[in-house]
Every structure is written in C-alpha cells, then in structure tokens.
Amino acid sequence: MIGLLTCFWSARTEAEEPRGATSSAVGAGAQANAAGLRLYDGFEGNTVAGFWLPGNYGSGLYVPGAIKLTTNYARSGRQAVQITVKEGNVDAAGDAGTRVERSELDSGHFNLLGEEAWYAFSVLVPKDFPIVDNRLVISSCKQSDVSRPLTAQRFRNGKHTLTVESQGRKREFRLPKLPLGKWVDFVCHARYSPSEDGLFELWMDGRRVASYTGPLADPVNKNAFYHKIGLYRDRWKDPMTIYFDNYAMGNSYESVDPARFETNQKAAQ
C-alpha cells in the first residue's frame, strides 16, 4: 500500500513560498518510520513529487520527455524515475569554451547556512550505458550565485569520483567502482558552513567512502542551497540514461537511508 507523507520544511525557496509543504508518496512499510524525513519521492505516483522544481525553472533543468516514471527497474516498490539527456538538451556555455547540457531534478532552494542536511538516493546505471571520456555529473550540492558546485559526484570514462570545492579549495575523492546494471544506495551529509566546521560525507551501500572537513559555503552569497540528481555533461552526440529511486532529504542517516524503503530490488536482467 502506498501511503502519504506530508513534508514540512521551514526554509523558503528563492522568491516564492516554501516548497517543502507538500505531499509525497511513501513506499510500502515507510509510514511507521516517517519521523525525520523532510522530503521524499519514491516515484510511485503518476508524476514526480510536487517539491521538485519544474523543468523550465531558472535557465532550465530538463526538456519535456527527459524525466519519465518507469516500471523497467525499481529499487523498491514498482517504479523508478528514468532520466535521459540528449545532445543539445538545455544547452548552455560551459568552461573554457565548452557547451554543456543537462537533464536534472532540483529539490528546491533552502536557507541552510550554518545548518546540516542529509540527502539520499538510489542509482542504477544500465548495462548498456556508454562509457566515454566526457564530463558527467550525476548529483551535486550547490549554493545560489556560486559559479561552481560545492560537491559533484562524477562518472567519467568508468571512473567514479567526488569533488568538493569551496572558497578556492578543491579536493577530489576516488570512489568505489559504480557497477552497471545494479542498484547502489548513496547517503550524503552536508554541513553548510563557510568556516572550518563545514563538512561533507558520502556513504555508498552503507560504507562511508568520502569525508571532507572545511568550508562548504560562501558567506557573501545567497543563503540558498539546493541538491540535484540527474545528468549534467559536456556536449555529446549520444544519449545517456540513468535511473534513480528513493530520493530523500532528512535530519539523520537513518531517516533517509534508501534501505529503509526496501521491498524488492528489480535490477537489470
């Protein structure tokens, strides 16, 4: 049975009412353990949850048809979200004269300066995914008006990495291999501080694989932080598709852990 979770978040998005006050479908068995969740989308409804920003938000997040619910794969429940990027989707200028394109879900912009946030999601990269030497970001934490992401989880030419960058500091972590055709659970913990007590941690299938301490915010930019999942890449001729499930935002590891929603693992055949 699919239940309903009412999500409350006191922070406001930029120039609009809070996007946290919304309802979202929760997978079987989750109703009794909903404490600590702030946002959740198990992608079990007819559309993605209402807290996701629309595709035409700002300079654009995704084009029509790029975000689809599917029964082809599911980490739990019956459905997941299929995200596809094609050449020229939301075309924009990139670094050093490059062009970039994207298909991303943005969970909304929140006042989190000096605060902590926990994010989690499951990812399945299909077996036929093109392994190419081209920049690809599949999740990121950002601060409004800061040109580069604070954190970026990357998958390039089969290499799986995390970069953390703030106030001129940059650190790269080599992550365990991202297997094809298999669901992988990720949990992220961010403390958005411009001081040395800033923090970012990443878990992969329950194992902590990266830990950073140091600035994770710019004090002179907007107090507006957001998290994105999807595909952001340098322009490329071939389409790419990745599947996501059990997106959560909460106040602890336990509240967002994708394994808590587990009912099945419908992986690639």
Can you tell me the distance from the alpha carbon of 5 to that of 215, in angstroms, rounded to the nearest whole number? 34
Can you tell me the distance from the alpha carbon of 111 to that of 125, in angstroms, rounded to the nearest whole number? 32
Question: Residue 265 has what pLDDT?
Answer: 56
Residue with tokens 């429940």: 77
Domain 3-261 has CATH 3.30.710.10: no
Can you tell me the distance from the alpha carbon of 7 to that of 42, in angstroms, rounded to the nearest whole number? 14
Can you tell me the distance from the alpha carbon of 71 to that of 94, in angstroms, rounded to the nearest whole number? 34
Q: Provide the 10 A C-beta neighbour count for residue 133.
A: 8
39, 44, 196, 265, 267 from 71: Cα distances, Å? 22, 9, 44, 12, 11
Is residue 80 within a helix (H) or strand (E), and if so which, with residue range?
strand 80-85
Can you tell me the distance from the alpha carbon of 215 to that of 171, in angstroms, rounded to the nearest whole number? 12
Q: What is the CA radius of gyration of the chain?
A: 17
- Model pLDDT for residues 2-17, shown as the tens digit of each residue: 333 323 333 333 333 3
- Model pLDDT for residues 19-53, shown as the tens digit of each residue: 332 333 333 334 434 568 999 999 999 999 999 99
Question: Which one has a higher pLDDT value, 3 or 123?
Answer: 123
* Domain assignments of the chain as residue spans, ordered by start: 3-261
pTM of this prediction?
0.87
Can you tell me the distance from the alpha carbon of 235 to that of 91, in angstroms, rounded to the nearest whole number? 8
Can you tell me the distance from the alpha carbon of 108 to that of 12, in angstroms, rounded to the nearest whole number? 9
Question: Residue 266 has what pLDDT?
Answer: 57
229: left (phi over 0), alpha (psi -120 to 50) or beta: beta
